[in-house]
Chain A
Amino acid sequence: MESHGPDESESADADERDRVAVAGAYPWVVRPLVRAAFWLEDRTGLWKTFGPMLQHPVPRKAGWMYVFGSATLMAFLIQVITGTVLATVYVPSTSQAYGTLQYITHEAVLGRILRGMHYFGASAMILLVGIHMARVFLTASYKYPRSVNWITGILLLFLTIGMGFTGQLLRWDQDGVWSVVVSAEQAGRVPFIGHYLATLVMGGETVGGTTLSRFFAIHVFFIPGLIFGFLALHLFLVLQHGISEPPKSGEPVDPKTYRKKYEALLKSDGVPFWPDAAWRDVIFSLLVCLTILVLAITVGPPDLNKPPDPTEIHAVPRPDWYFFWYFSLMALLPHGSDKYLLWIMPMALVLVPTLLPLLFNKGERSITKRPWAPIIVLTTVVTIVVLWRLGLEAPWTPRFDTPPLAASLVHSNDPMIQHGALLFHDKACIYCHQVEGQGGIRGPELTHVADRLTRDQLVWRISNGGYNMPGFTYNLSGKEMGDLIAFLQSRTQKSATRPITSIQVQPLAFAGKKQ
């Protein structure tokens, strides 16, 4: 039988009297809860362990710019909770996934809102993690001693992007199915092992029964497991090194003296994180939650595309909005560079930021002394926004649904010109070239092309093509070329108001397709 010394007993009695006194200070309704809390704390020691973490000192001047990390964490928690709940209905089978999502969206109670929360939560998480990274970069918080914070942050960024990609794929509609093939094609470009990587992506050498379940496991288990692990390390390091103080010009980071200076700053001008700094995080996280909820209710989740049928060749695969910039980049890469850039680019996007704290460990943190930092961030943001905007419009996509030009837009009764207008559609020219506001926007607009190109130039271009235009030497007969040229030559400013009744077409020196 254990015996306790008189000092220990007196101390325990004193503690018990204190607890009773504290509980007694609360309204009688709440007292049982307070006593329960004391009981739990005595048996677990949770507050003793985690309380100091919540109240760890932070620089008093760390203001609203520091809320994005916790907001990203909030978005992640929303994803975990909503994703877990969605998984109680969603079936990750290639034959049933689409049907279960239709059920969730249109029949399940609150299913549409839950799916919406999950979709907008993903968007919020990707947006916030990018903003958080930009803030850390601008304040050079990656410098000593927070190098590993930054590196774990980079990993978390790319794991988040991986979640976004695998998540949209799990919708398993037309876009989902084709995004598997697109990602396998990208993986296939990696030298020597590309074929094996592509096989692993598809779960075989074709898209099949194991493809979706593989991505489900990646989305629900593998990547979140890694995120939890790196997040724990990331948060531990935040506690370990503290939140970086707002940078000051003329106060460079020196690894030899930084820790002492930082501790001195916290002693003289530090406040407990909870609640003196945390209130901003709470307010901003609340705004994030409410925004996600409002969007989920008012806008709702993205409509499901057609069923995931790989034999449906009228698909126009598109990624979710946060990948539009990358989608644009794929279209704009110089021809022939894909076999290098498709694997070098993603690697560079991971490696270059990872090297940052290793190469620039010390020195000035203020942007007034590091003007290249805001320039880099601004350039990156502008590039992404421009590419995103381009991706929305996708000018490189042929406008397959364009009908033939209406007779009123042809401006001529000449049979050659009219036949030329029909050829302009049948030969798919109008899919890429607009005339009178109709058609595609990949190539130059041709409403008044005759005002700027001569007949010979037109023939040359149509015969030989261009960087993104096929040559039609073997797809057009001599007569067809003549009629098409007649139509294009009729396209002038004047002809818009004064229809051409006939056009003199000189014989063409054009071999063309055999009649």
Chain B
Amino acid sequence: MNIKVNKPKEEECLAPWRPAADSQALRRRRFLNWMCIGLGGISVSSILWAVVGFMLAPLGKATKSVWRAVGKVDDFKIGSTTIVKLDDASSLPWAGYAGKTAAWLRRDDASTFTCFSINCTHLGCPVRWIDTAQLFMCPCHGGVYYQDGAVAAGPPPQPLPRYDVRVRDGNVEVLASAVPITRGVS
């Protein structure tokens, strides 16, 4: 489709602005230039500080560790390693499934428990406890841990993290806290 349009005359295309010979006008123009840039920066900053602050807010809010009851002492056999499910330390009302976590709880003797994180120290995948082999095994990249959480084989760089456990009034309580993230060089 050929559309004929009005072509502007050549002189109309030339930039009409010419540098002012008058130094006062030049100074004024420079002042206006920087004033616009400065005020524009203030406008942007006035909005941006709240936006950036909101996005970075999680950094300023450390997760408070909370004791969570996971069962009665007698629910766990001595020597057994059992999966326990508990609410996250920082669960929000609408979190649904995501507000929960799990841990491997072992009853060592009549009154002592050890609790391991389910997060493999390689890349955080959930490890399984193979009771007959007394090993924790990770499905993602083949990490293996011994029953005490020490690395047995594969890529995990560190032993399985542990949660604090206590017994209160016949209840076993686990200290729910932040997801244990493996640190790099620090």
Question: A residues within 8 Å of B by Cβ?
Answer: 11-12, 15, 18-19, 22, 34, 37-38, 41-42, 45, 47-48, 93-96, 98, 177-178, 181-182, 184-186, 188-192, 194-196, 198-200, 202-212, 307-317, 330-331, 333, 335-336, 338-340, 342-343, 396-398, 400, 426-428, 431-432, 442, 465-471, 474-475
Say which size band chain B's interface belongs to: 35 or more
Q: What's the dominant secondary structure at chain B's contact region?
A: loop
Q: Is the CB of B98 within 8 A of A208?
A: yes
> Which residues of B line the A interface, CB within 8 A?
1-6, 55-56, 58-59, 61-63, 83, 85, 88-102, 118-119, 122-128, 130, 132-135, 137, 139-142, 144, 146, 152-155, 157, 177-179, 181-186
With both beta carbons as reference points, the residue of chain B lying nearest to A397 in the complex is identified as B139
B61→A204 contact, CB < 8 A: yes
Whether A181 lies near B62 (C-beta < 8 A) is no
Nearest to B93 among chain A residues (CB) is A209
Most chain B beta-carbon contacts within 10 A, residue among A19, A42, A470: A470
A331 to B155, Cβ gap below 8 A? yes
Of all chain A residues, which has the CB nearest B132?
Answer: A426
CA distance A432 to B137 in the complex (A): 11
| Chain A residue nearest to B134 in the complex (CB) | A475
CB < 8 Å: which of B90, B101, B155, B185 contacts A335?
A: B155
Q: Which of A94, A177, A202, A338 contacts B122, CB < 8 Å?
A: A338
* 16 pairs, CB–CB < 8 Å, chain A vs chain B: A22-B1, A34-B1, A95-B96, A98-B97, A182-B125, A185-B124, A194-B184, A202-B58, A205-B62, A206-B179, A207-B179, A208-B90, A311-B100, A312-B126, A338-B122, A426-B132
Q: Which residues of B contact A182 (CB under 8 A)?
A: 123-125, 140
Cα separation A427 to B132 with both chains bound (whole Å): 6
Residues of B within 8 A of A470 (CB): 135, 144, 146, 152-153
Residues A206 and B59 in contact in the complex (CB < 8 Å), given A47-B3, A178-B125: no
On chain A, the residues within 8 Å of B179 by CB distance are 181, 184, 202, 205-207
Residues of B within 8 A of A314 (CB): 128
Give min CB distance, B103 to chain A, whole Å. Answer: 9
B59: shortest Cβ distance to chain A, in Å?
Answer: 5
| B96 and A340 contacting across the interface, CB-CB below 8 Å | no
B103 to A, closest residue via Cβ: A311
Across the interface, do B186 and A466 meet the contact criterion of CB distance under 8 Å?
Answer: no
A309 to B102, CA, bound (A): 10
The reply to whether B58 and A199 contact each other, CB–CB distance below 8 Å, is: yes
CB-based contact B5/A45 at 8 Å: yes
Within 8 Å by CB of B94, from A94, A189, A200, lies: A94
Pair A210/B92 contact, Cβ less than 8 Å: yes
Q: Point out the residues of chain A lying under 8 angstroms from B153, CB to CB.
A: 465-470
Residues of the A chain whose Cβ atoms lie less than 8 Å from the Cβ of B144:
470
Which B residues lie within 8 Å of A427 (CB)? 132-133
Query: Which of B5, B89, B133, B140 sits near A48, CB closer than 8 Å?
Result: B5
